[in-house]
Structure 1
Amino acid sequence: MKNLKKYILIALAVLFTNLSFAQKNLNPIQEIPCSTYTPDTEMDTFVGNWKWTSGNDSFEILLKKEKVFHSISNDHSCVDRIIGFHQYVKNGTIIESSLQHQNTNFAENLMSIYGYIVAPNQILWAGVDILSNGNHVKMELEYIDANHVKIKSLNTYPGTKLYLPGQTIPSSEITLPQDIILTKQ
């Protein structure tokens, strides 16, 4: 029994040491040089602060373009992605907001919007976290002109979802407004 405790303590010490050194070696993504990078200028049209208002209801999104590592490649190549933050107000009450994180970057993982493709017809495809119910949906954001974008659709992702025991199963309800035109602020 005494030897078992000794082995457990040694194993925990080795594990803790490895975790400590692993954490010290992490650098922000922006400090690691890219092997290749070609800017995606089509994403520039979506960058900015956009807002829709109707009476006491409003929906605001702040979108930024950021250079990140290509998630599929392991050659340190970089690509542009849209990260964003949103706030939804209904009847004058803030239902959900991630705008307090607008000064963070991709590496901090506090964004509520993550855009990855601009389709040929000027549509940004992005994932959106619905903070009030834990749902994650896909959004199609259409560029209209320099001052307007339109949320064409918000849909749940198709397919089977896996939740481990103890995890909260999010609602599949989409509570954010759809088919709205936002104006650049």
Structure 2
Amino acid sequence: MKNLKKYILIALAVLFTNLSFAQKNLNPIQEIPCSNYTPKPQFDKFTGHWKWTSGNDSFEMVLKKEKTFNILVSDHSCVDYIIGFHQYVKNGIIIESSLQHQNTNFGQNLLSIFGVGVSPDEILSAGVDILSNGNYVKMELEYIDVNHVKIKSLNTYPGTKLHLPGQTIPSSEITLPQDIILTKQ
């Protein structure tokens, strides 16, 4: 019995030592070398803090460009994506907000806006989580000028949605304002 305790203590010490050294070798995702990198400079004009206000209603979002692994392929290539965070206030009451997470990155998965591309007519296509009702919608954000962008449309994604047993079925209602012009802050 005494020997068994001794072996267990030795095994735990070895395991703890290996875990400690393994943790020291972890690097943030940005430091992992990419096999290749496809920058998207067309995203630059959309980055920043944007806000719309009308009376006691407001919508604001923080958009940033982030270099990360390409989620569509598994070859360790990197690409730029837009990640964002938003807040919607109606009648002076915060309806939903993810702005508290604006200093996080893609890997932490706390974003509420995810942009993948810009069309030739300068419209950013992005997905937006409507936090207040669980819906996920497609946003078209139009670049107007260096100080203004416009939420041109918010639409539900077409097709069948899969909900596993026990999951709450989100509302299909789009509660965020659309056809609004936001000003760079």
Q: 1:33 to 1:172 in 2, by over 3 A?
A: same
Bigger CA drift: 31-40 or 156-165?
A: 31-40
**RMSD (CA atoms):** 1.7
Matched, 1:90 2:90: yes
Tell me how far apart the structure 1 counterparts of residues 132 and 96 of structure 2 sit (CA, whole Å): 6
Task: Give 1 or 2 for the bigger CA radius of gyration.
Answer: 2
Shift of 1:26: 7.1
Tell me how far apart the structure 2 counterparts of residues 27 and 37 of structure 1 sit (CA, whole Å): 19
Instruction: Indicate the residue corresponding to 2:160 in structure 1.
Output: 160
Q: Show structure 1 runs of 4+ deviating over 4 A.
A: 23-27
The number of equivalent residue pairs is 165
Instruction: Indicate the residue corresponding to 2:151 in structure 1.
Output: 151
Q: What letter is aligned with 1:102?
A: Q
Q: 1:42 is paired with a residue of what secondary structure?
A: helix
1:50-74 deviation digits (Å, cap 9, x = unpaired): 0000000000010000001111222
Q: 2:38 is paired with a residue of what secondary structure?
A: coil
Q: What letter is aligned with 1:142?
A: E
Amino-acid identity (%): 79
Q: What letter is aligned with 1:71?
A: I
Instruction: Indicate the residue corresponding to 1:78 in structure 2.
Output: 78
TM-score (norm: length of structure 2): 0.85
Asked if structure 2 preserves the Cα contact closer than 8 Å seen for 1:28 and 1:107, the reply is no
TM-score (norm: length of structure 1): 0.85
Q: What letter is aligned with 1:137?
A: V
Gaps spanning 5+ residues in structure 2: where? 1-14
1:30-85 deviation digits (Å, cap 9, x = unpaired): 23111111321100000000000000000001000000111122211110000000
Q: What letter is aligned with 2:183?
A: T
Asked if structure 2 preserves the Cα contact closer than 8 Å seen for 1:138 and 1:156, the reply is yes
Asked if structure 2 preserves the Cα contact closer than 8 Å seen for 1:127 and 1:139, the reply is yes
Q: 1:111 is paired with a residue of what secondary structure?
A: coil
Bigger CA drift: 29-38 or 87-96?
A: 29-38
Instruction: Indicate the residue corresponding to 1:67 in structure 2.
Output: 67
Instruction: Indicate the residue corresponding to 1:171 in structure 2.
Output: 171
Instruction: Indicate the residue corresponding to 1:6 in structure 2.
Output: none
1:74-131 deviation digits (Å, cap 9, x = unpaired): 2111100000000000000000000000000000000000000011100000000000
1:13-92 aligned within 5 A: 28-92=28-92
Gaps spanning 5+ residues in structure 1: where? 1-16
Tell me how far apart the structure 2 counterparts of residues 72 and 170 of structure 1 sit (CA, whole Å): 26
